[in-house]
């Protein structure tokens, strides 16, 4: 698979790098405090203080305390990698290759944070409900990149049907995984996408 070389990627400006570091620090401190004190007992003021920023700065990055958990730093990498997949791959095939590329190359500490976020989302009811909103947001983002790849409009029926099916696989995998490790979730997700790509042959009648 041809991968986008690090040297080929435009280097973010100083402002963007600083914002990324602040966002990452806020999430890191938030997860640590949630782990030590519990989600409900931890306040935004405490997270901001731990990250050495003001509460108003916290809200510039995350509209609510829930958002600091739901934010996934890998999302931009996934979109970039999807757009870079070979044109000969189907949209589902390109997505499977993207997930293997991004998660397969992610450092251990990043995957550990993914596991911690998943466990917390399942443990806190309001986070579980908000996660469904995140799936809806993912549908819009994925529809845009699939439409661009296929040369169609995001509201094209075929694009919508495909995206809905992919997100459905994602929701089904997420519900059944119940906060399991990222590696297990990704394996199950890939199996579900393989079934979708093949037209669910295991469900066909003999």
Burial of 199 (0-12, 13-18, 19+ CB in 10 A): exposed
Q: What is the CATH number of the domain that holds 51?
A: 1.10.10.60
Low-confidence ranges of the chain (pLDDT < 70): 1-12, 179-180, 205-206
Q: Considering the entire predicted model, what is its pTM?
A: 0.84
pLDDT mean across residues, the chain: 89
Pick from 21, 36, 68: which residue ends a domain? 68
* 38 part of a folded domain: yes
Domain shared by 86 and 39, yes or no = no
Each as own residue / partner, the long-range contacts of residues 80-85 (CB below 8 Å, 24 or more positions apart, any chain) are 80/4, 81/4, 82/145, 82/149, 83/145, 83/148, 83/149, 84/2, 84/3, 84/4, 85/1
Structure-block tokens of residue 105: 């190359």
Per-residue pLDDT tens digits for 30-44:
999 999 999 999 999
Residue linked to tokens 């935004």: 44
Computed on alpha carbons and rounded to an integer, the radius of gyration of the chain in Å comes to 18
HSE-up (13 A, CA, CB side) for residue 97? 18
Q: What is the CATH number of the domain that holds 131?
A: 1.10.357.10
What's the domain range around 76?
72-203
Domain shared by 56 and 108, yes or no = no
């Amino acid at each position: 698979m041809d991968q986008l070389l690090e040297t080929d990627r435009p280097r973010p400006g100083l402002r963007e790098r600083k914002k990324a570091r602040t966002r990452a620090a806020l999430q890191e401190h938030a997860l640590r405090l949630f782990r030590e004190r519990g989600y409900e007992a931890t306040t935004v003021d405490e997270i901001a203080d731990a990250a050495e920023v003001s509460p108003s700065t916290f809200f510039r990055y995350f509209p609510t305390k829930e958002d600091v958990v739901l934010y996934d730093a890998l999302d931009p990498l996934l979109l970039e990698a999807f757009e870079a997949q070979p044109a000969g791959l189907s949209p589902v095939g390109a997505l499977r290759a993207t997930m293997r590329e991004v998660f397969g190359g992610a450092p251990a500490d990043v995957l550990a944070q993914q596991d911690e976020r998943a466990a917390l989302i399942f443990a806190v009811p309001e986070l579980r409900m908000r996660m469904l909103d995140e799936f809806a947001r993912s549908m819009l983002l994925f529809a845009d990149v699939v439409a661009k790849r296929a040369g169609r409009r995001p509201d094209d029926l075929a694009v919508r049907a495909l995206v809905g099916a992919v997100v459905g696989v994602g929701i089904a995998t997420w519900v059944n995984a119940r906060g399991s490790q990222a590696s297990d979730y990704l394996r199950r997700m890939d199996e579900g996408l393989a079934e979708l790509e093949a037209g669910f042959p295991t469900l066909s009648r003999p």
